[in-house]
Copies of this chain bind each other. A is one copy, B any other.
Amino acid sequence: MVIVMESIATEEQIQKIIDLLTRKGFDAHRSTGATRTIIGAVGSDAGALDPRDFQLMEGVREVLRITEPWKLAGRVFRPEGSVIAAGAARGSAQVSFGGPEVVVVAGPCAVESEEQIRKVAASVRRSGARVLRGGAFKPRTSPYSFQGLGEEGLRLLRAAADEQKMLVISEVMDATQIDVAAKYVDILQVGARNMQNFTFLRELGKASLPVLLKRGLSATLEEWLLSAEYIMAGGNHAVILCERGIRTFERYTRNTMDISAIPVIHKLSHLPIVADPSHGTGLRDKVAPMARAAVAAGADGLLIEVHHDPDNARSDGAQSLHPEQFAELIGQLKVILPAVGRRLA
């Protein structure tokens, strides 16, 4: 933490700040320049200081907070980057996130029936997807909307994936669903609205499966990494971040995909980051442009909603690609990938 004094701050006011810092166990470093004094607080536990305590003191112009000390999630912790392998725990074919290969995850928004999920699985596998997605537990803004098939959905998802030698990812909405999901999936997905559900994050830290952590609708990158830190602090270091659009003033698209989060996260953290242009835009005809953009910006993977009959999908059909649109997109990605030194998984 750094405290910037007003140019007219008195010596007494400065001393009071230094005394308080010292009392709290910090080293206070004073820098006096031509126009003002700044005081740096350096200690082993910066999180223990609340900048606002100092902001309220006399003679203080502003207090600059040093970013919360995420430790495990920071790039410094593993400068070479993390490669997170999924599938090993269940004996599935392994797929790695964060290596030279870009992984495509595809499937319907929600698992609706055996026929549906088998059809979609076969089609996306043919085009190049390695992981099958599909919602069984659905978070819905309205209590009156379709809430998913539950465990039966997971069972269907697993069966369809096994048939195609694919991995499975599906969303869990709270701690009570982790065990049941773990029977079927290779990767646990955490939705945007749960990004700061801290008791849940702590439970995920005890899970033995990789976790795909979606960014909250208005979360900063710092908050996102701190949520990853919660999971990692519990012992589970296999966290894959997923950019899925943030809330902005624009209403034409459902959300605004923050493509720049991709290179920024790569600088701040060693964790892989994938992009979900289906939720990120909410509109089918925007999915391909944003998927191409994400890969061109360096994404480690993509989550794409695909449905064999989007017009009759039970949720989010409007953002699901037709299978042939998905195939065409994969073709475009193959052109782009060499520009960033990557290839398709």
Chain A interfacial positions (CB closer than 8 Å to B)? 2, 4, 6-8, 26-27, 29-38, 40, 42-44, 46-47, 50, 52-53, 55-56, 61-62, 64-70, 76, 139-145, 173-176, 193-194, 196-202, 217-223, 226, 229-230, 233, 246-254, 256-264, 267-268, 280-286, 289-290, 292-298, 311, 315-319, 332-333, 335-336, 338-340
Q: In whole Å, how far is A185's beta carbon from the nearest beta carbon of chain B?
A: 18
Bound CA–CA A331/B94 (angstroms): 34
What residue of chain B has the Cβ atom nearest to residue A192's Cβ? Answer: B196
Q: In the complex, which of the residues B230, B253, B335 contacts A339, with contact meaning CB atoms closer than 8 Å?
A: B335
Residues of B close to A140: CB separation below 8 A = 198
Residues of B close to A263: CB separation below 8 A = 285-286, 289-290
Bound CA–CA A198/B32 (angstroms): 33
Bound CA–CA A342/B53 (angstroms): 30
Bound CA–CA A65/B267 (angstroms): 20
Number of identical monomers bound together in the oligomeric complex: 4
What residue of chain B has the Cβ atom nearest to residue A286's Cβ? Answer: B263
Residues of B close to A50: CB separation below 8 A = 315-318
Q: In whole Å, how far is A324's beta carbon from the nearest beta carbon of chain B?
A: 16
Residues of B close to A217: CB separation below 8 A = 218
Once the chains bind, are A27 and B33 in contact (CB under 8 Å)?
A: yes
Q: In the complex, which of the residues B27, B220, B316 contacts A250, with contact meaning CB atoms closer than 8 Å?
A: B220
Q: State whether A338 and B340 are in contact (beta carbons under 8 Å apart), knowing that A31-B27, A38-B40, A230-B143 are contacts in the complex.
A: no
Q: In the complex, which of the residues B249, B282, B283 contacts A249, with contact meaning CB atoms closer than 8 Å?
A: B249
Q: List 25 A-B contacts (CB under 8 A).
A: A2-B38, A2-B40, A4-B67, A8-B76, A35-B43, A35-B44, A35-B46, A47-B142, A64-B64, A64-B65, A64-B66, A141-B223, A174-B174, A174-B197, A221-B252, A249-B249, A250-B258, A256-B260, A264-B286, A289-B297, A292-B297, A293-B296, A332-B339, A335-B336, A335-B339
Q: State whether A218 and B44 are in contact (beta carbons under 8 Å apart), knowing that A29-B29, A260-B281, A317-B50 are contacts in the complex.
A: no
Once the chains bind, are A7 and B76 in contact (CB under 8 Å)?
A: yes
Residues of B close to A280: CB separation below 8 A = 260
Once the chains bind, are B316 and A2 in contact (CB under 8 Å)?
A: no
Residues of B close to A281: CB separation below 8 A = 260
Once the chains bind, are A68 and B141 in contact (CB under 8 Å)?
A: yes
Q: In the complex, which of the residues B8, B40, B338 contacts A335, with contact meaning CB atoms closer than 8 Å?
A: B338
Bound CA–CA A290/B298 (angstroms): 10
Once the chains bind, are B290 and A218 in contact (CB under 8 Å)?
A: no
Per CB-CB distance, the 7 closest pairs between chain A and chain B, nearest first, are: A33-B42, A52-B318, A29-B31, A218-B218, A293-B293, A335-B339, A292-B296
Q: In whole Å, how far is A167's beta carbon from the nearest beta carbon of chain B?
A: 25
Residues of B close to A319: CB separation below 8 A = 52
Once the chains bind, are B6 and A141 in contact (CB under 8 Å)?
A: no
Once the chains bind, are A289 and B296 in contact (CB under 8 Å)?
A: yes
Residues of B close to A268: CB separation below 8 A = 252
Residues of B close to A267: CB separation below 8 A = 285
What residue of chain B has the Cβ atom nearest to residue A232's Cβ? Answer: B143
Residues of B close to A144: CB separation below 8 A = 47, 69, 233
**Beyond the given A62-B67, A253-B260, could you list 14 further A-B residue pairs with CB under 8 A, ordered by the A residue number?**
A26-B33, A27-B33, A29-B40, A31-B31, A35-B46, A56-B284, A56-B318, A142-B226, A142-B229, A143-B201, A250-B258, A293-B296, A293-B297, A336-B339
